[in-house]
Amino acid sequence: MKEHTQTTIFGILKLIPFAVVTVMIVLFWVDDFLGFLISFFFCWVTLPAIGFSIAFFIMGLRWRDIWQRIAVIWGGINVLLVVVYAFAVAPDRRCNPDIMAKHYDKHHTEMEELRQYMHSALNDSCVVNLEFKGDTLIRFYAGNYHDSFDYRDEEAVAHQKMMMSIVGLTQDEFDEIQQRLNSIGCIGVRYDQYDSGRINLDLCRDRWGCYSYVLRNYPIKAEQRDAVVSDSRFIPYNEYCTFVYDGSAGAFDSGGFSETEKRSFLKKHKPW
């Protein structure tokens, strides 16, 4: 009886690394950035868990008792989840200049129409920055001659009507802007009446930053071209459109496009 109890306890303990690995995989599925941070800062837990789960999986192939069978089955499920994540989930979350180019080519007319609509809808001398997560407003910046406010998440929703009044948007106009963003597959927009020929459209958030477009209804100035080409945050697509990746530069990210992907894209696509 005592030996059976000890076997049960040791069997359960052997399953703990598999549980840790499963939690890590789920975190990456929910939010890969969050999953990376937790895995990195708790590496003293996650790395041994991965090592022990591999070892127990191999040992479990002997198939001697119920705990080894559970270890093999659980390990197999974890491997399957990792494969599905790597080849199905993760690629859909990544963005790159080629994806941005295809998206722009498909929607550039609607993007320009959104710029024109915002120009007519907003009061003079106003700046507005909107960002959505699905159908939920998660950022609302509004400014004019007299006031400027920047609210995020629940506060953005709570102050939405007040912010709309600052820039002169009606509810119908706000809903129209949101609908147009959805139709062109973008999550946010920044528009400044001081530079009414330009609009910033956020395509998606990825890793530690945001991929976006800077669109103009006038060609980029000759003296600005070298600055755009040399800055890692920018990739010029043509005289009227620039791709932007604005990240948080630090230990794990350069704060812009990688040198390799920028050089590769510009090699096959000449902006001017």
pLDDT the model gives residue 67: 82
pLDDT the model gives residue 1: 55
Task: For residue 250, list its beta bridge partners.
Answer: 253
Name, in order, each residue with C-beta under 8 angstroms of 266's C-beta and a sequence gap of 6 or more: 229, 235, 236
Q: What average pLDDT does the structure give for the chain?
A: 88
- As a whole number of angstroms, the distance between CA 75 and CA 72 comes to 5
DSSP string, 176-194: HHHHHHHHTT-SEEEEEGG
pLDDT the model gives residue 191: 96
One-letter amino acid identity for 115? R
Q: Please, which pLDDT band fits residue 251 given cuts at 50, 70 and 90?
A: very low
Answer yes or no: is pLDDT of 217 > 80: yes
pLDDT the model gives residue 62: 77
- As a whole number of angstroms, the distance between CA 34 and CA 208 comes to 10
pLDDT the model gives residue 253: 53
- As a whole number of angstroms, the distance between CA 181 and CA 6 comes to 60
pLDDT the model gives residue 9: 79
Q: Give per-residue pLDDT as tens, 171-200.
A: 999 999 999 999 999 999 999 998 888 999
Give me the sign of the Cα torsion angle 82, 259, 103, 205.
positive
Answer yes or no: is pLDDT of 8 > 80: no
Q: How many CB atoms lie within 10 A of CB 147?
A: 10
Quote the percentage of the chain above a pLDDT of 70: 93
Per the model's pLDDT, the better-predicted residue between 255 and 259 turns out to be 259
Q: Give per-residue pLDDT as tens, 113-132.
A: 999 999 999 998 899 999 99
